[in-house]
Amino acid sequence: MISLELKRKAQKIKLAAFDIDGVMTDGGLIYLPDGSEAKMFNAKDGLGLSMIHKAGIITAIITAKDAPVVLNRAEVLNIDKVYLNQRNKIEAFEEILKEYNIAADEVLYMGDDLPDMEVLKACGLSACPNDAIDEVVEICDYVTVKTAGHGAVREVCNLLLESRNITF
């Protein structure tokens, strides 16, 4: 059961943006012998992202990493916009607002660590996994029951869908 305030914020969301490490993954880093990086994503999170996309919510990834595997995952999920190598994530956030002609309060952002703080404070609905750092948990509108990489993204997607009474 979500509060009326949370439901009101969720109903306004036109774009949902997510960090990768510590949000869509559990934050673990896997380096392969050739030096490339591998990531493990959760299929339930992926289905949640596909469902909000089908519901008309624009989806985006904003990550400080420059990992090709993120582009592969984004393509599979039909993510609308991907920002890699974003050391200053607020710049990508502001670009999103301009590109899609939307207000900050129409954006959900889900992050977990210090580089996400500025965007979490600027967006309309801030969310984080329950295992985010304390400073992030303290400022977020919604803290998931699930942990990062293990259903936290799906939980946020379900929140957006439930606020609109959309079922699949």
Please name every residue paired with 38 in a beta bridge, in sequence order, or none if there are none.
30
Task: Reduce the secondary structure of the chain to three states and give it as a string.
Answer: CCCHHHHHHHHCCCEEEECCCCCCCCCCCEECCCCCEECCCCHHHHHHHHHHHHCCCEEEEECCCCCHHHHHHHHHCCCCEEECCCCCHHHHHHHHHHHHCCCHHHEEEECCCHHHHHHHHHCCEEEECCCCCHHHHHHCCEECCCCCCCCHHHHHHHHHHHHCCCCC
Residue 66: the pLDDT is 87
Tokens standing for residue 139? 């400022």
Contact (CB, 8 A) for 89 and 62: yes
With contact defined as beta carbons under 8 Å apart, do 97 and 104 qualify?
A: yes
Per-residue confidence (pLDDT) for residue 86, from 0 to 100: 95
- Alpha carbons 50 and 39: distance in angstroms, whole number: 19
pLDDT value for 68: 86
Query: Whole-prediction pTM value?
Result: 0.96
Check: CB of residue 163 under 8 Å from CB of residue 127: no
Q: What is the pLDDT along the chain (168 residues), one digit of tens a residue?
A: 689 999 999 999 999 999 999 999 999 989 999 988 889 999 999 999 999 999 999 999 999 988 889 999 999 999 999 999 999 999 999 999 999 999 999 999 999 999 999 999 999 999 999 999 999 999 999 999 999 999 999 999 999 999 999 987
What sign has the CA pseudo-torsion 46, 52, 56, 60? negative
Pair of tokens at residue 146: 């699930």
CATH superfamily of 4-163: HAD superfamily/HAD-like (3.40.50.1000)
The confidence score (pLDDT) of residue 77 equals 94
